């Protein structure tokens, strides 16, 4: 709580790249949810986020806001 008041970022802060990847993967029905550093596949399998990002890389243009 004190770290929030002081403006420090929490340990579970999601970066913009991770957030964009997750939204892309969710729309593609590759993942259903995320908690901490784990994503959940449609069959409920927990997989480390980094592993899923390695398995399903996307080009930077997918993250474009245009």
Dump pLDDT digits (tens) for 28-66: 999 999 999 999 999 999 999 999 999 999 875 555 544
Full residue range of the structural domain in which residue 39 is found = 14-63
- Check residue 47 and give its pLDDT: 98
Task: Domain count for the chain, please give it.
Answer: 1
Sheet holding 38-40, edge to edge: 33-35, 38-40, 46-48
State residue 24 phi and psi, 5-degree precision: -60, -50
State yes or no: pLDDT of 12 exceeds 50.
yes
CB 31 within 8 A of CB 21: no
Indicate whether 6 belongs to any domain.
no
Whether 23 maps to a domain, the answer reads yes
- Is 8 a member of any domain? no
């Amino acid at each position: 709580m004190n770290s929030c008041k002081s403006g420090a970022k929490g340990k579970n802060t999601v970066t913009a790249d991770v957030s964009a990847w997750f939204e892309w993967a969710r729309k593609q029905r590759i993942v259903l949810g995320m908690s901490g550093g784990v994503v959940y596949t449609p069959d409920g399998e927990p997989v480390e986020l980094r592993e899923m990002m390695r398995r399903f890389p996307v080009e930077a243009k997918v993250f474009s806001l245009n």
